[in-house]
Amino acid sequence: MNRSRPISEAEHDTFFASISGRDDCRFFAIELVDGGAHVGNVWLWAIDTRHRKAELRIVIGDRAARGKGAGSEAIALLCRHAFDSLRLHRIYAYVLSNNPAAKRAFQAAGFTEEGTLRDDRWTGDQFVDAHLLAQLNDVP
């Protein structure tokens, strides 16, 4: 998750308690259809109702579930929810250049690359680029 240090259980508890009353984020579990195993999470972050946009973030924690389309399907479903129910116009994501599978998942879900932020993130070993991808709602 690109954290500079491990997050304690108490910090997790504080974070999860704080998000229940917020309106600038929405979190969802990703479960496999064949058995319902929880394989990751997808969420909208920094929801901006004035400008009708939000950042989409995703993690597939179960390595066995990667590369099978669950990520791109979760991205597409969350975009549909954001566009139809939340009336957002723009969903964007930052994808690190050292994660080409994530970039492919976003593109498979209809995202377009808009630019590259050069040496934007420090991984602990090196700086890597971050690609900015986005999808626009086709209904204003």
The string of pLDDT tens digits covering residues 29-76 is 998 877 788 999 999 999 999 999 999 999 988 777 787 888 999 999
Whether the Cβ atoms of residue 74 and residue 29 lie closer than 8 Å to each other: no
- 96-134 residue pLDDT tens: 999 999 999 999 999 999 999 999 999 989 999 999 999
**pTM higher than 0.85 for the full model?**
yes
Beta-bridge mates of residue 55: 45, 92
CATH number of the structural domain 9-136: 3.40.630.30
CA distance linking residue 79 with residue 74, whole number of Å: 9
* Pair of tokens at residue 67: 């590369």
**Residue 11 neighbours by CB under 8 Å, 6+ apart:** none
Domain ranges of the chain: 9-136
Q: Which residue has the tokens 């979190």?
A: 27
DSSP classification of residue 100: H
Strand residues in the chain grouped as ranges (E): 25-31, 38-48, 53-60, 90-96, 112-122, 127-136
